[in-house]
Structure 1
């Protein structure tokens, strides 16, 4: 009997792997510029570990202005730590917009899923879109979990959580994950009304069980929460490790108050500073490592513009297939030259936004970690 992988007197019998690889290359040639993997991504969008996505499994209304999305991440996902956030990419009117959302579910769920909770923002394109359009089966783009707004080990003996509005989201993830490990927890939360308290029913139930001490402040009746109010409500606050998340003005006041009490090391804050980026046609590209700054017209890829200026850059296929040209974008805005998709990055995003220089052109000022 002839082995299919050996040469006999009847001639060479090709290896089935060679035949399969050859057939795949033929299919790639036929379908270029779209490759077979692109079709597979349409059929099975969660299969590709290099392009991280998630499917919306459920949508739950928390308040009239807040909605929780239960997400099933695809291959390549790495579990989060309680308190961390992820960046979510949503395609709105042909533009991919990225926003950061804290994970609100407990860490390490056995089903592999997690949740984010989106609070409506006045004029917020992404939050408004998800509020009105999110539905089961929708595919979202993801980045891996990040952030250091987390709890230490061992857990604090006395903890205080100060939140306002959607700032309760990461704290809810912490409580759901680690409350059983913390013997003394105070939660002070500020919202416009009792009905506007995100996770209000769950927090009140935890308080009724004696697992937390919950203090609600409703700004429509009580006014904005100030550090002096917190000190009156929680007399031992400087004995507690404190985590605060909410509007920037509130966090600024708290940091100043803790610093004045020589307790700044006991206050941990989480703040997001979104930057509004408007897409144009071309822009300057700054290469961080060399300090080179080049003008990149919208009709030329970043790779070509960089090479023309003498910038050493990695490349491969130059068609957006091999991903050898990928670099981190620290901040800025680029346009995919194939389909016009816009990708943005702000200082908050850091290294998490990766761009392919061979198929991307600047759509405004950009700073690359290359």
Structure 2
């Protein structure tokens, strides 16, 4: 993806993504290109037909032709490399390799210590040859779940102090990696992830959104997002992905305690509790006052 005038695009750190307008859908895709003075943004999209449970966004992406114009957001960083990390341990499952490609390229460019564990179905190893050439023996690639289990356990207990772990892939794989890392004693501050789709969310409890500026009260029923409730009440909030990934619908919190369910805010920002992604997050208190 390039600008219509072929001008330079904004730089971005590894682990960044863009939100692409795919017809009726807006989907987030990880950027695989080098983020330093990019002339183009590149993404890899696994085609998932609607008959197989897809939303139609990936099919639209595969229908685009060179020269087509499409709306693309500015890059946003979901899990950039930690500059002070002694080592970067990258764990990818399936199409989750896409953000790891930019991480690996960046680590090699700057001489950072990096290791990769990549599990995928037989015959479905995207970028396998490039990663093997790029990382050599620092990359491990497997297709058997049993072998992955062994290598994962070995990796989690053999890293030097100061290693940071980054994981992306199917939800079940990420949850497993995070659980095993926690059991192995990894502190949460050294675990980083990116989800391609939001985790399955429960309907949540109803609450009231108090709008500080307009002095309105908006009821948010169970099963209805704060964003949807605001839109139904005629309150416009900028938004794009509606999946808690892009950060576009972030609104300041004036009072109350948010129930964070997004993939955008950092741990420190969640603790601060002064903003909320209204497309997926809710409230732990009966009333959440926002600056709208």
Q: TM-score range by the shorter chain?
A: 0.5 to 0.7
CA contact (8 A) 1:86 1:144 kept: yes
Is 2:169 the counterpart of 1:241?
Answer: no
Give unpaired runs (5+ residues) of structure 2. 201-207, 221-229, 252-279, 283-289
- The structure richer in strand per residue is 1
CA RMSD of the aligned region, Å? 3.7
CA separation of 1:188 and 1:294: change in aligned 2, threshold 3 A: closer
Aligned to 2:192: 268
Instruction: Select the residue among 182, 199, 222 that pairs with 1:259.
Output: 182
Aligned to 1:230: 152
Offset from partner CA, 1:77-108 (integer Å, 9 cap, x none): 632221111111122xxxx3100001110112
Query: Which structure has the bigger radius of gyration?
Result: 1
Partner Cα distance (1:206, 1:97) in 2:
34
CA contact (8 A) 2:14 2:80 kept: yes
CA separation of 1:113 and 1:225: change in aligned 2, threshold 3 A: same
Question: Which structure has the higher relative contact order (CA within 8 Å, separation 6+)?
Answer: 2
CA separation of 1:117 and 1:294: change in aligned 2, threshold 3 A: same
Secondary structure at the residue paired with 1:118?
Answer: coil
CA separation of 1:248 and 1:305: change in aligned 2, threshold 3 A: closer
Aligned residues: 232
TM-score (norm 1): 0.53
Instruction: Select the residue among 123, 132, 140 that pairs with 1:215.
Output: 140
Is 2:243 the counterpart of 1:346?
Answer: yes
CA contact (8 A) 1:345 1:353 kept: no
Aligned to 2:43: 116
CA separation of 1:215 and 1:353: change in aligned 2, threshold 3 A: same
Aligned to 1:157: 86
Partner Cα distance (1:258, 1:180) in 2:
28
Secondary structure at the residue paired with 1:174?
Answer: helix
1:177 CA drift (Å): 2.7
Give unpaired runs (5+ residues) of structure 1. 1-69, 277-284, 296-301, 307-312, 314-325, 330-342, 355-364
CA contact (8 A) 2:168 2:174 kept: yes
1:161 CA drift (Å): 0.6
Query: For 1:1-370, what aligned pairs fall within 5 Å after superposition?
Result: 70-72=1-3, 78-91=10-23, 96-109=24-37, 112-121=39-48, 122-124=52-54, 125-131=56-62, 133-154=63-84, 156-193=85-122, 195-207=123-135, 210=136, 213-219=138-144, 222-223=145-146, 225-226=148-149, 228-232=150-154, 236-237=158-159, 239=161, 240-264=163-187, 265-274=189-198, 289=212, 290=215, 292-293=217-218, 306=234, 327-329=237-239, 345-352=242-249, 370=292
Partner Cα distance (1:102, 1:304) in 2:
31
CA separation of 1:347 and 1:158: change in aligned 2, threshold 3 A: closer
CA separation of 1:223 and 1:81: change in aligned 2, threshold 3 A: same
Aligned to 1:7: none
Secondary structure at the residue paired with 1:163?
Answer: strand
Aligned to 1:298: none
Secondary structure at the residue paired with 1:328?
Answer: coil
1:242 CA drift (Å): 1.4
CA separation of 1:344 and 1:86: change in aligned 2, threshold 3 A: closer
